Amino acid sequence: MERGIYITDRDGESYGNFFRSERILYQGRSRYQDILVFDTREAGRVMMLDNIFNVSESMEAFYHEPMAHIPLAMGEGDQEVLIIGGGDFALARQVLKHSFVTGLTLCELDPEILTICRRWFPEWAACESDERLRVRVGDGFDYLDECPEASLDALLIDSTDPYLFESPLISEAFYAKSARALKPGGVMMQIIADFLFYKKTWFEVIPLVAPYFSVLKPLAIPIPFYATGSWGFLLAGKGRTDLDPERVSADYLRSIPGLKTLTPDGVKGWFSLPPYLREEFGDLPGL
C-alpha cells in the first residue's frame, strides 16, 4: 500500500477488497442514494452507490458482457429488451451491439445517476444516440405494470447488489410482474449474491422466483471488481424447458464487436455447478 485514500465497501463482513483513489471526482447525495465517483490506477474510473462498489471502467466487461450476451443468446429472432437499473449505460451499450435487438427500454430510478454517468462515463452513455434506446426515469417495480403482458424477450435487472438490502426487486411480487411482462420463452437475468459467503441469500430468493419461471440456472461468473472475485447470477426462463449454454456459440460471440471476456467453453463452465453446491442446488427446477 502507499499513502492515500483507500476505499472499501464492507459492512460487517470480515473480508473484502479495496481500491486506492487517485482522485475523487464527485461525491454527493441524490434523493435515493450516496454517489461517489473516483479514479483508480488499476480499476480505472469507479462509481460507488451507498458506499457499495458499483462499476469499474477497466473491469466492466466482466460484468456487463455475461449480463447482456448470455440471456440474449437464449432468444430467437428480433428481441425487445428491458433493463431495470443500469443508469450507467454500460449494459445498454452491450445490448445494443446486437442488430436483432429492435427495442431497449432502460428504466432507471435515480435521474442523478443518468446525469453523473453521462458526464463521467461518456463512452458508455454514447449509446444514447441509438434510436432503439428509450430511457425512462422511474421505479422498475412500477414500470413493469405498464409493460404490456408478454411483450419482452429479455429482462435484465442491473440494480445495486440486491443481497445487501431489503430490495423490492427481490420479492415474489416483483418476479410475478416480471414473468407477466415476458413473452413465453422469455428470460430474466439478475445478480443475486456470491455462492461462497452469501449462499443463504440464494435459498431465500429461489422460492420467490420458482413459481413464475420454468427453468432456473444459477451461474458463477468471475467478477474481479467484487470481493471474492466470483459472483452468482440467476438466469431464469419462462415457459421453456431449457436454458442451454451451447446457444452461446462461437458464431454468436463472433458477431459481438469488441468482445473481451466470453468464450463458448468459458460460459459453459459457468453453467456447471461445482460439487460443493450441486447437492444443495440439485432440486432447482430445470437443473
Contact residue for a second copy among 111, 239, 264, 285 (CB under 8 A)? 264
Per-residue cell: 274: 461445482
**Judged by CB under 8 A, how many residues of this single chain contact a second copy?**
51
- CA 98 remoteness from chain centre: 17
Contact call for residue 286 and a second copy (CB under 8 A): no
Residue 244's SS3 state is coil
Per-residue cell: 102: 429492435
Non-local (6+) Cβ contacts of 117 within 8 A are 47, 87, 88, 89, 124, 125
- Contact region with a second copy (CB under 8 A), list: 6-14, 27-35, 74-82, 121-129: 6-14
Amino acid residing at 111: P
Our answer to whether residue 158 is catalytic in this structure is: yes
Q: Which is nearer to a second copy, 122 or 229 (CB)?
A: 229
Contact 218, 233 (CB under 8 A): yes
Given 9, 158, 161, 194, which residue is catalytic? Answer: 158
Contact call for residue 229 and a second copy (CB under 8 A): yes
Q: Which is nearer to a second copy, 222 or 285 (CB)?
A: 222
Amino acid residing at 98: H
Residue 100 Cβ vs a second copy, minimum distance, rounded to whole Å:
21
Contact call for residue 23 and a second copy (CB under 8 A): no
- Catalytic positions are 158
Residues near a second copy, by CB under 8 A? 1-2, 8, 10-20, 22, 40-43, 59, 61, 196-197, 220, 222-224, 226-230, 253, 259-276
